[in-house]
Amino acid sequence: MPLSVEEVETAILEKAAKWHKPQLYLMDLTTCDPERSRRDIRNIANGLVEKKKLMFWCTGASVMYVIPERVEGEK
């Protein structure tokens, strides 16, 4: 049974805080709830961006997600 949206949001934020790099690809986030589709995970992550808990990180070729506090020194 898939996790609730709130549980997935919590799992995404925990993973983003503990990840070895500040940035995460969407594929990295799909492991937070393997039963959900990539599209569902993207919609949940984009919801976290709207809530300002995550932000987009663009490299030019890729779009990743990052916790804003983790990139303060990298701007």
**pTM of this structure:** 0.88
Degrees, nearest 5: CA angle 66-71-75: 125
- Taking the domain 5-68, which CATH number applies? 1.10.10.10
Q: Where do the structural domains in the chain lie, given as residue ranges?
A: 5-68
Q: What is the pLDDT of residues 28-74, one digit of tens each?
A: 999 999 999 999 999 999 999 999 999 999 888 888 999 998 877 55
* Angle between helix 38-50 and helix 5-18 axes, rounded to 10 deg: 80
Spatial contact of 26 and 45, defined as CB atoms under 8 Å apart: yes
Spatial contact of 12 and 45, defined as CB atoms under 8 Å apart: yes
Can you tell me the distance from the alpha carbon of 48 to that of 9, in angstroms, rounded to the nearest whole number? 7
Mean pLDDT, to the nearest integer, of 1-16? 92
